[in-house]
Amino acid sequence: MAIQVQEQPFYGLTPAKVGIWWFLASEIMMFGGFIASFVVFRLGATGWAEAARHLNVTIGIVNTLILLTSSLTIVLALAATERGDEAALRRFLGLTILLGCAFLGFKAVEYTGELRAGYAPWTGTFWSFYYAMTGLHALHVLGGIVVNVVLLVTTEWRRLRPHRIEIAGLYWHFVDIVWIFLFPLLYLA
């Protein structure tokens, strides 16, 4: 059954879109501050390359592929919404949610391995930055999963509006872009 969309097309900025862009701008400032601080500390310290060698690059690469794929699935969810294909919308939102959960699962496995090896946030400055930045990013992934679950449930009530998927997609892409900066900075530096 197709989704019933009751709003007129709008070719401009909605309050929701302006709001998400303001929110994302504030998030960019926060992550940008972390990244700039990391770079400054990295340039002035020794031993960071050695600490970074203990990170699981394979899990980092897998998580990068997972998030890039999830960006595709959220775009496909929006496309399904715009054409009124409820089954495809549910499928792609579900895949986005599963991929987000897979990212967090791999991150949990990685954290467990690092902690068992004795690399905790208090082990050194590199590890403090690593856990703070990736932990904050993981919280943002969790927030995106929650939003997408709410959108998936909303499709059951037949009240879903295409702009809601677009707003969620903007946030999800932001989360992916942040990871694209964190991965090389932490894992490949």
Closest C-alpha to 160, from 74, 90, 101: 90
Closest C-alpha to 60, from 113, 121, 24: 113
The number of helix segments (H) and strand segments (E) in the chain equals 6, 0
Q: What is the mean pLDDT of residues 53-70?
A: 95
pLDDT at 32 over 70: yes
Q: What is the mean pLDDT of residues 150-156?
A: 84
pLDDT for residue 155? 76
With tokens 């203990």, the residue in question is 54
pLDDT at 72 over 80: yes
Residue 178, classified by CB atoms within 10 Å of its CB into exposed (0-12), middle (13-18) or buried (19+), is buried
Confidence band (pLDDT; 50, 70, 90) for 132?
very high
Contact 67, 103 (CB under 8 A): yes
Give all domains of the chain, ordered by start, each with its CATH number. Answer: 28-188 (1.20.120.80)
Confidence band (pLDDT; 50, 70, 90) for 178?
very high
Instruction: State how far the alpha carbon of 105 is from the alpha carbons of 54, 64, 102, 157, in Å.
Output: 19, 13, 5, 30
What average pLDDT does the structure give for the chain?
89
Q: What is the pLDDT of residues 99-131, one digit of tens each?
A: 999 999 999 999 999 999 999 999 989 999 999
Confidence band (pLDDT; 50, 70, 90) for 7?
low
